[in-house]
Amino acid sequence: MSYKAIVIGASAGGFFALKKLIPMLPEDFSFPVFIVQHISPTSDNYMAKFLDNLANLTVKEADEKEIITSGYVYIAPPNYHLLIEEDLSISLSTDEKKNYSRPSIDILFETATYAYGEDLIGIVLTGANSDGANGLLSIKKAGGFCIVQDPSEAEAEAMPLAAIKSSDPHKILKIEEIGKLLIELDNKVKKENKPIDGEKDESF
């Protein structure tokens, strides 16, 4: 196991789901987290500031050419696609909408797959469309770990259902269970990368 990053996609009801999930992550959480939340193009993206006040981690709006830092939570700005480059930097794009959305969950998931391959964890939360279904499938095909919010808990079940149909995820969980699993996976990675006494840790 060598997971290195987490991507999360959400739409209708996503703010409430993220408000539960992100504060669960501890301050020593080692993965960078990237979030696409479908949002109005004219929004001031108050969500990043709101979550930053709640979270143990630094939550911020993603910036163009920003170098990715472990333990940060990056949120796509309104009306911009969020892309992960292979050199592990961030790109923002105003290219045409995908699945009627900009930012697009699929674009985040697919570019993150190119950058991280099997070391990626993908999560699809509540939403009223199918954005994220193809992206989660790309993560699954690359050998990454796929999680979908339990549709019975989601405020809008369409997006979780589409993701379940497309990718047959490894886990279908409620928000609290997702948070606990992410902490567990992080702890396992830390344990596996812990150096033997006398050895230098070069795992990160």
Residues involved in catalysis: 11, 38, 131
Per-residue model confidence (pLDDT) at position 199 = 45
Counting as low any pLDDT under 50, the low residues of the chain are 197-204
Residue 199 lies in a domain: no
Residue 197 lies in a domain: no
Residue 48 lies in a domain: yes
Residue 158 lies in a domain: yes
Per-residue model confidence (pLDDT) at position 54 = 96
Q: What is the DSSP string of the chain?
A: ----EEEEEE-TTHHHHHHHHGGGS-TT--S-EEEEE---TT---HHHHHHHHH-SSEEEE--TTPBP-TTEEEEPPTT-EEEE-TTSBEEEE-PPPBTTBSS-HHHHHHHHHHHHGGGEEEEE---SS-TTHHHHHHHHHTT-EEEEE-TTT-SS-HHHHHHHHHH--SEEE-HHHHHHHHHHHHHHHHHHTPPPTTS-----
Per-residue model confidence (pLDDT) at position 7 = 98
Per-residue model confidence (pLDDT) at position 101 = 81
CATH number at residue 19: 3.40.50.180
- Please count the structural domains in the chain: 1
Per-residue model confidence (pLDDT) at position 86 = 93
Per-residue model confidence (pLDDT) at position 41 = 72
Specify the pTM: 0.92
Residue 198 lies in a domain: no
Per-residue model confidence (pLDDT) at position 1 = 61
Per-residue model confidence (pLDDT) at position 63 = 96
The tens digit of pLDDT for each residue in 101-137 reads: 889 999 999 999 999 999 999 999 999 999 999 999 9
Per-residue model confidence (pLDDT) at position 195 = 59
Residue 204 lies in a domain: no
Residue 154 lies in a domain: yes
Q: Which domain holds residue 74?
A: 5-192
In whole angstroms, what separates CA 63 from the centre of its chain? 16
Residue 91 lies in a domain: yes
